[in-house]
Amino acid sequence: MKKMLFLTIASLMLAGCTDLDTGFDATIKVDSASSVAEGEGFCGYDETEQCHTLSVSLTNNGESEVSTNMFYWDAVGSNGGVFSTPDVDGPDACAGGATCTVTLHFDVTNGSKLVTLKWDDIFDNMETSIPAY
């Protein structure tokens, strides 16, 4: 019984010690959005999809760099669909104290517009609305 109590107390104490403070302090803003009906360059080649392009400013006020990996981005469409894994133009990461611009290209179902942009690397996340286009 004493051993179990010790292990329980020790694990509770360690839980507080292992909480990671990443110093994450970043925001995203969509500067512009557009769509192209015909496949041009990066996406939109399927006849049921259009290529939607977002120009995004990522402001990193934190200490650590923020990755722009394609797997961290999702966009929510006006039809409720979630569109993932865009093609990303720009730097691989944004250094602490910097503002970087990336361009995201999403394949989006015909008739839908993107309304919300999300970035999530499992540990941290950001979200912003997308201006009407």
Residues 6-17: what's their mean pLDDT? 44
pLDDT digits (tens, 9 = 90+) for 85-123: 999 999 999 999 999 999 999 999 999 999 999 999 999
Q: What residue segments make up the domains of the chain, in order of their start?
A: 23-129
**Mean pLDDT rounded to a whole number for the chain:** 87
What is the DSSP annotation of the chain?
-HHHHHHHHHHHHHHHHS-------EEEEEEEEEEESS-BTTB--STTEEEEEEEEEEEE-SSS-EE--GGGEEEEETTS-EEE--EEES-SEE-TT-EEEEEEEEEEETT--EEEEEEE-SS-EEEEE----
pLDDT digits (tens, 9 = 90+) for 41-58: 778 888 899 999 999 999
* Fold designation for 23-129: Immunoglobulin-like (2.60.40)
Q: Give the predicted TM-score (pTM) of the model.
A: 0.81
